[in-house]
């Protein structure tokens, strides 16, 4: 059985802008699965729906349509008193900005202890021991456990957040841009740490990132999203340089320089919002307006996602089987 199955998930929001209102399809008909012990990399530019998909998977939000199943059961089948126990703590999320994700008045120990207190039946002594063990695992020495969140550097605090996410022995971590608020040198350390933790435990990751290099380093398979939809998917990382979608090719060609391209992604986002590709009712390919290969058919009709060879699917009219 697959660990996670996302089945035709859709999430739309009502948007009101300049007196107009419309429905924005943040996630549009997304399906994929994730195997136990694997890392799926989810890549795409700002606003394409990555975090929304992450929230649907962790059950923080419900899809407008479709379903997300964890070990065969819907993640939304919550009881009145909260999440059903089999899922409690089993899917955890790590966020981009660790300073936003924690209570600044908590110490590292309190941050990691909180989920244990809520979800695990441990004695105080067992809990303290578990906290120390978790902090050691992520490279925070015992002597630092009484430091407050605000006293840590970004990289150290992200380590504490990873320890907290690991506290209740999760099976799946949804890592939402865990590196993007960190220095490049610290990014590499956190990436290594995530790789080690995954190899050690029976853990699976959904790694959300703008950073194709980071995804290449850690992921076993890749999903490329644009305008709320999956554009391309490879099940085997060895096909990385053979990805074919025009949007993926653009991402691949911008690897060396995109770290300094804050402005570029802003512009890209505004272009695409102007195009309204995420508006409910838009029926063409979301990438049409920016695609160097786009033809009339792309404007008229959304390309179906289809298999072009073993382990590779694309949604593009211009790619032959
Ligand atoms: N609660 C909400 N209400 C209205 N619109 C939303 C909401 N959450 C997300 N959106 C919109 O849905 C789209 C997808 O947003 P999302 O945050 O999932 O993108 P993202 O790929 O994570 O972007 P980034 O890389 O900047 O984090 C965006 O246009 C965003 O403005
Ligand atoms: Mg996001």
Cβ of residue 50 lying under 6 Å from some atom of ligand 1: yes
- Most confidently modeled range among 95-104, 194-203, 252-261, 297-306: 297-306
* Confidence category of residue 79, pLDDT binned at 50, 70, 90: low
pLDDT of residue 240: 94
Q: Is the pTM of this model over 0.85?
A: yes
Distance 26 CA to ligand 1 centre (A): 6
Q: Is the confidence at residue 21, as pLDDT, over 90?
A: no
Sheet holding 73-74, edge to edge: 20-34, 4-17, 65-70, 73-74
pLDDT of residue 266: 47
- Rounded distance, CA 300 to CA 164, Å? 47
- Rounded distance, CA 248 to CA 198, Å? 27
| 3-class DSSP string for 253-290 | HCCCCHHHCHHHHHHHHHHHHHHCCCECCCCCCCCHHH
Taken in order 302, 308, 313, 319, the sign of the CA dihedral is negative
Cβ of residue 25 lying under 6 Å from some atom of ligand 1: no
- Rounded distance, CA 248 to CA 262, Å? 18
pLDDT of residue 269: 52
Q: Tell me the percentage of the chain whose pLDDT exceeds 70.
A: 90
pLDDT of residue 17: 77
Ligand 1: which residue has its CA nearest to atom 25?
Answer: 46
Average confidence score pLDDT of the chain: 89
> What angle, rounded to 10 degrees, do the helices at 154-166 and 184-200 form?
20
pLDDT of residue 20: 82
**Among 9-13, 94-98, 243-247, 299-303, where is mean pLDDT lowest?**
94-98
Mutate to test the pocket of ligand 1, among 26, 274, 286 (most ligand atoms within 8 A of CB): 26
Q: Minimum-distance ligand to the CA of 265?
A: 1
**Mean of pLDDT values over 281-306:** 92
* Confidence category of residue 202, pLDDT binned at 50, 70, 90: confident
- Rounded distance, CA 193 to CA 137, Å? 9
Q: Which carries the bigger pLDDT value, residue 173 or residue 256?
A: 173
Q: Tell me the percentage of the chain whose pLDDT exceeds 90.
A: 69
Contacts of 177 (CB under 8 A, 6+ apart): 50, 51, 95, 96, 208, 209, 210
Cβ of residue 48 lying under 6 Å from some atom of ligand 1: yes
**Among 38-42, 84-88, 252-256, 297-301, where is mean pLDDT lowest?**
84-88
Tell me how many degrees the CA angle 171-174-175 measures, rounded to the nearest 5.
Answer: 125
47: its two tokens: 């606003």
pLDDT of residue 212: 87
Distance 146 CA to ligand 2 centre (A): 31
Cβ of residue 150 lying under 6 Å from some atom of ligand 1: no
Q: 204-227, pLDDT tens digit by residue?
A: 999 999 888 889 999 999 999 999
184: its two tokens: 């490049």
pLDDT of residue 258: 37
14 CA closest ligand 1 atom index: 4
Ligand 1: which residue has its CA nearest to atom 16?
Answer: 49
Q: In the chain, which ranges are continuous DSSP H helix? A: 50-58, 98-101, 108-119, 124-137, 154-166, 184-200, 212-218, 246-253, 262-275, 296-300
Closest CA to 41 of 229, 165, 176, 162: 176
Cβ of residue 24 lying under 6 Å from some atom of ligand 1: yes
Q: 107-160, pLDDT tens digit by residue?
A: 999 999 999 988 888 899 999 999 999 999 999 999 999 999 999 999 999 999
- Rounded distance, CA 208 to CA 179, Å? 10
Distance 70 CA to ligand 2 centre (A): 22
- Rounded distance, CA 14 to CA 183, Å? 36
Cβ of residue 26 lying under 6 Å from some atom of ligand 1: yes
């Amino acid at each position: 059985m697959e660990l996670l199955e996302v089945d035709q998930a859709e999430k739309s929001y009502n948007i009101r802008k300049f007196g107009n209102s419309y429905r924005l399809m943040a996630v549009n008909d997304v399906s994929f699965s994730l195997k136990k012990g694997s890392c799926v990399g989810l890549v795409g530019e700002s606003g394409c729906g990555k975090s929304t998909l992450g929230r649907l998977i962790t059950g923080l939000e419900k899809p407008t349509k479709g379903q997300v199943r964890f070990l065969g059961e819907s993640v939304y089948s919550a009881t009145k008193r909260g999440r059903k126990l089999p899922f409690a703590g089993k899917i955890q999320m790590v966020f981009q900005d660790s300073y936003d994700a924690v209570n600044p008045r908590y110490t590292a120990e309190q941050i990691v202890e909180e989920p244990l207190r809520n979800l695990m039946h441990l004695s105080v002594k067992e809990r303290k021991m578990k906290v120390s063990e978790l902090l050691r695992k992520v490279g925070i020495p015992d002597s630092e456990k009484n430091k407050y969140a605000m006293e840590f550097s970004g990289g150290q605090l992200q380590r504490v957040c990873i320890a907290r996410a690991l506290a209740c022995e999760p099976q799946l971590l949804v890592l939402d841009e865990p590196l993007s608020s960190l220095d490049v040198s610290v990014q590499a350390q956190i990436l290594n740490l995530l790789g080690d933790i995954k190899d050690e435990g029976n853990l699976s990751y959904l790694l959300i990132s703008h950073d194709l290099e980071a995804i290449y380093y850690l992921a076993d398979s890749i999903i490329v999203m644009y305008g709320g939809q999956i554009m391309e998917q490879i099940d085997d990382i060895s096909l990385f340089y053979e990805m074919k979608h025009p949007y993926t090719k653009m991402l691949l060609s911008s690897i060396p320089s995109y770290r300094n391209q804050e402005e570029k992604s802003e512009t890209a986002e505004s272009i695409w919002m102007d195009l309204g590709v995420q508006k409910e009712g838009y029926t063409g390919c979301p990438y049409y307006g920016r695609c160097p290969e786009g033809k009339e058919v792309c404007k008229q009709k959304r390309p179906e996602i289809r298999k072009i060879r073993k382990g590779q699917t694309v949604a593009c009219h211009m790619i032959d089987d």
